[in-house]
Structure 1
Amino acid sequence: MLRHIATSLCLRCQCVTALPLNLRPCATLNSVENQQTVQALCDLSVDIQKVRKLKGWVLHQSSAYTKEVAELLKDMGASGSVIARILAAHPEAVLCRPEQMQAQRELWMSVCANQKELVAIIEKFPASFFTPFIHHDNQRNNITYFQSLNLNKRIISKLMASAPQSFSRPVEQNQVMVCTLQQAYQELGGDEVNMKVWLLKLLSQNPFVLLKPPKVLRQNLLFLKDKGFSTAELLLLLSKLRGFVIELNPHSMCRTLAYSQDTMGCSEGELRDIILNCPALLYYPETLLAERFRGLLSTGISMTQIKETPTVLDLTTQIVNYRIQQLQAYGYDIRTGSLEVLNGTKKDFEMSYRKLQLRRERPLFNPVAPLKGDD
C-alpha cells in the first residue's frame, strides 16, 4: 500500500522553491537618497536609521508612494505608531503602487473578518501583504482552491500571512501537495470524515508543509514502514507529527533512532512503542537528546523511568530542573514517583503542583466534623 504512495502522483511531483518577495520595482536607482521619501518617512515617525541600516536601497529609489501607503493603512484603522512600525520593518511597502495596494486590500478582505484583523496581520507580516503584484492572480486562485477544501477564512488568512510563498506560486503546486497528503492519510486507514479536521490542524500548525516536495512525505513513510511500524501506527504518527513528518529525512531519523536505542538499551519493538508515545524523538538531533538524557539522569531519575514516560524528553533541561525543585519543596521524590507530573505545558504543571500543595496543606482530620460520642 505504501509502495503505491511512493509511485502515485510521481509525474506531477514538483520541487518547490520559495519565490522572492523583495519589491525592487523597475524604477531608477539614485546614487543619493530620495529626500522626499526620507522626509515623508520622518514625518510619519519612522525609524529612518533602521531603514538605512536594513533596507537602505529603498531610500535610493526615484519613485515611492509613502504618503499613499500611510493613508491606506490609516483608512483601515491603523494608528500612527502602527504605521511607523510597519514601514520601519518593511520599508519596501512604499514602492507599491496605490492601485496595487488597493487590489491587495480587497483580496485580503475576502478572507479577513474585518479591517482591524487585517491591520494586525500587516503589522505582524508586512511582507505577506506588500507582495509583488505579479503574484496577485496566483493568490486569488489559491484562495479559491483552499475555500473549495472547506477551510475557513481564519485558516486561509493565517496561511497567507505565515507562508506567503505558498500563495504566490501556481495553485497546481499546492493541489499536488494537498492531494498527496490526503492520499497518504486515506491509504494508511484514515477516514474521510476525520480527514478535513486532520488537514486543517496540519496546515494550521505547519503551513510550510505546502512548500515541501511531495516525495519527502512518501520517503519518510516508507522509511518508518521498513523500521517495523504498522499501517495503523504510521497513521498515528502522521496524525501526531502532522506536517512535521515532512521536515524529517531518513538519514537523520536513522541516526536519531540508533542513538536513542543504544542510550536507552531497548529492543526495536520497545523503541517503536517509545516513539509512538513521544514522536518528537524522530526529529531531535543526537546532541540535544544527549543533553536531555544527561540532565534527567543527573537528577536521580532512572533510565527505566525515562522509558516509561519518554515525553519528559520534550522538556528542556532547565524546565525539568525547575519543576523538580518545585516538587521537592512539597516532598515529592521524583526518583520514586511518576514522571508524568513533570509533563505538559506550564499550565498543566501548575495544576499538578497545586494539587500537591493542597494535599500537603489538607488537615489530617476535619475540624468541623462532629466527634463520635461514647457508645
Structure 2
Amino acid sequence: MLRLSATSLCLRCLRVPVLPLHVRQCGTARPVENQQTVDTLYDLAVDIQKVRKLKGWVLHQHPAYAKEVAHLLRDMGAPGSVIANILVVHPEAVLCNPEEMAAQRELWTSVCPNKRELVNIIEKFPASFFTSASHHDNQRNNIAYFYSLNLNKRIITKLMASAPQSFSRPMEQNQVMVDTLQLSYKELGGEKNNMKIWLQKLLSQNPFVLLKSPDVLRQNLVFLKVRGFTTAELLHLLSKLRGFVTELNPDSMNQTLLYSQEMMGCSESQLREIVLKCPGLLYYPKHILADRFKGLMSAGISMSQIMDTPTVLELTTQIVNYRILKLRAHGYDVKTGSLNVLNGTKKDFEQSYDKLKLRVQRPLFNPVAPLKTDD
C-alpha cells in the first residue's frame, strides 16, 4: 500500500504543469538597464549607485553614447576624474548623439578656443554643453548678435554656460532686452563711451537679466524716480543692483521702503541715502529685514549704527552673530566700534579680523632693540 501510494503521488506530480523559467511571478516587471551604458560607466569609475539614486532613468535609455562622450571629453584634455564627475552630475550627457556633441564642440570652441578652459566650463555647467540639437540655430544667432555688440568672448562664454536658456531662445528676444538696457543707460545720463563696459559688467554679474521683462525694468525705474531718486542715482542703482531691479516690482519695493523708514525713523531723503549705500535693501522682503534688524539690535547694535553702515543688513543674522563673537574674543566691541569690520565677504572679514589680531597681539617692546644691562 505504501508503495502504491508513493507511485500514485509521483504520477500526479507529473501532471502538474511547470511554469516556464522566464515567467515572473510579480505583476509589474522592472525596466531593464542598458547594460552597455552601465558597463561603460563602471569602466570610467562613475558612481553608478549615485546615478541610480538621482537619475536612474538615464540608465534605461536606448540608444546611449557613454563611450562617445568619454572620447569627446578625453580628446579635449579632460582627465578621467573630471569625466567621471561630469557623468555623475549630468548622466543625461550619454543621451546626446555624436553629431550633436560634435556640433556643440564646434559652437563652444568658436567662443572659447582654449580646451582647458572649456573643459572647466563643461565640468561646472555640463547641462549647458550637452543640449539638444534643436537649439543650435538659436545659439549660433545669439553668439553672432553678442559679437556684434563687441562683447568680450569670456562674457559670451559665461552667458552660454550660466544662462543657457537665453541662448536657446530666438535672438530677437535678447535683442529687445539689451536695447531696453542700453536705452535706460542713455536716458539716465550714462556716457556712451562707457556703455559697452557697463553692459558687460551687468551681464557678467547677472546673466539672467536677459530673461526678464523689459516692461518690468521700465516700471521699476519710474517708481524709483517718483520716490525722489535722481537720474544719476537711478543709474547707480541699476549698476549696483546687478540687474536685480528687473526681479523686483513697485509693490514689493514700496513695502520694503515703508518698513525700513518706519524701523529707522528717518526722513525720505535719509532713506534715499541709505538705499544708495545699500541698494540690496530694495531687494529684501519685509520678513527678512525684520529678522536682521532684530538680530542686530539683540547684539547691542544701535539703530544709528545701522543707518551709518546699512550694508550690515546684507548679512544674515547667523553670520553677524558669528563675526561678533570672533571680534569680541579679541576685545573688539561692536557696540562702540565701527560696523565696517563686520561687512563684506568671508574673505573680507577674515582679512579685517587678522589685522585686528595683529594689533592686539603686537608686543609692547621692540624685540630688536638691545636689552639694557647693569654695568
- Category of TM-score, reference length = shorter chain: 0.7 to 0.9
Q: Which segment drifts farther, 93-102 or 46-55?
A: 46-55
Query: Given residue 34 of structure 2, which amino acid in structure 1 is its aligned partner?
Result: N
Residue segments in structure 2 that go unaligned for 5+ positions in a row: 1-29, 371-375
The residue number in structure 2 matching 1:200 is 200
Aligned-partner SS, 2:143: helix
Query: Given residue 87 of structure 2, which amino acid in structure 1 is its aligned partner?
Result: L
| 2:331 maps to 1:335 | no
Query: Given residue 288 of structure 2, which amino acid in structure 1 is its aligned partner?
Result: L
Query: Given residue 323 of structure 1, which amino acid in structure 2 is its aligned partner?
Result: R
Compute the TM-score of the two structures, normalised by the length of structure 1: 0.85
Alpha-carbon distance, 1:268 to partner: 1.8
The residue number in structure 1 matching 2:158 is 158
| 2:69 maps to 1:60 | no
Compute the TM-score of the two structures, normalised by the length of structure 2: 0.85
The residue number in structure 2 matching 1:20 is none
The residue number in structure 2 matching 1:277 is 277
Tell me how far apart the structure 1 counterparts of residues 52 and 61 of structure 2 sit (CA, whole Å).
Answer: 13
The residue number in structure 1 matching 2:344 is 344
In structure 2, the CA distance between the partners of 1:60 and 1:360, relative to structure 1 (3 Å rule), is: closer
- Within a 5 Å distance, the mapping from 1:279-298 to structure 2 comes to 279-298=279-298
Structure 1 stretches of at least 4 aligned residues deviating more than 4 Å after TM superposition:
361-370
Tell me how far apart the structure 2 counterparts of residues 212 and 152 of structure 1 sit (CA, whole Å).
Answer: 22
Query: Given residue 345 of structure 2, which amino acid in structure 1 is its aligned partner?
Result: T
The residue number in structure 2 matching 1:39 is 39
Alpha-carbon distance, 1:364 to partner: 6.1
Query: Given residue 122 of structure 2, which amino acid in structure 1 is its aligned partner?
Result: I
- Within a 5 Å distance, the mapping from 1:128-147 to structure 2 comes to 128-147=128-147
Query: Given residue 104 of structure 1, which amino acid in structure 2 is its aligned partner?
Result: Q
| Greater relative contact order (Cα < 8 A, sep 6+) | 1
Tell me how far apart the structure 2 counterparts of residues 311 and 293 of structure 1 sit (CA, whole Å).
Answer: 12
- Within a 5 Å distance, the mapping from 1:201-350 to structure 2 comes to 201-350=201-350
Query: Given residue 57 of structure 1, which amino acid in structure 2 is its aligned partner?
Result: W
Tell me how far apart the structure 2 counterparts of residues 50 and 323 of structure 1 sit (CA, whole Å).
Answer: 37
Provide the identity percentage: 76
In structure 2, the CA distance between the partners of 1:369 and 1:223, relative to structure 1 (3 Å rule), is: same
Alpha-carbon distance, 1:366 to partner: 6.2
Tell me how far apart the structure 2 counterparts of residues 363 and 58 of structure 1 sit (CA, whole Å).
Answer: 64
Larger Rg: 2
In structure 2, the CA distance between the partners of 1:61 and 1:352, relative to structure 1 (3 Å rule), is: closer
Count of aligned residue pairs for this structure pair:
341
Query: Given residue 276 of structure 1, which amino acid in structure 2 is its aligned partner?
Result: L
Tell me how far apart the structure 2 counterparts of residues 70 and 61 of structure 1 sit (CA, whole Å).
Answer: 17
Alpha-carbon distance, 1:272 to partner: 1.1
Tell me how far apart the structure 1 counterparts of residues 55 and 73 of structure 2 sit (CA, whole Å).
Answer: 21
Alpha-carbon distance, 1:282 to partner: 0.4
Root mean square deviation of aligned Cα: 2.1
Q: Which segment drifts farther, 44-53 or 178-187?
A: 44-53
| 2:104 maps to 1:104 | yes
Alpha-carbon distance, 1:368 to partner: 7.2
Alpha-carbon distance, 1:365 to partner: 7.3
Query: Given residue 347 of structure 1, which amino acid in structure 2 is its aligned partner?
Result: K
Aligned-partner SS, 2:105: helix
Tell me how far apart the structure 2 counterparts of residues 327 and 242 of structure 1 sit (CA, whole Å).
Answer: 31
Alpha-carbon distance, 1:78 to partner: 1.5
Tell me how far apart the structure 1 counterparts of residues 100 and 136 of structure 2 sit (CA, whole Å).
Answer: 9
Q: Which segment drifts farther, 317-326 or 276-285?
A: 317-326
Aligned-partner SS, 1:242: coil
Q: Deviations over 1:18-50 (max 9, x none)?
A: xxxxxxxxxxxx953332223222332323333
Q: Which segment drifts farther, 71-80 or 173-182?
A: 71-80
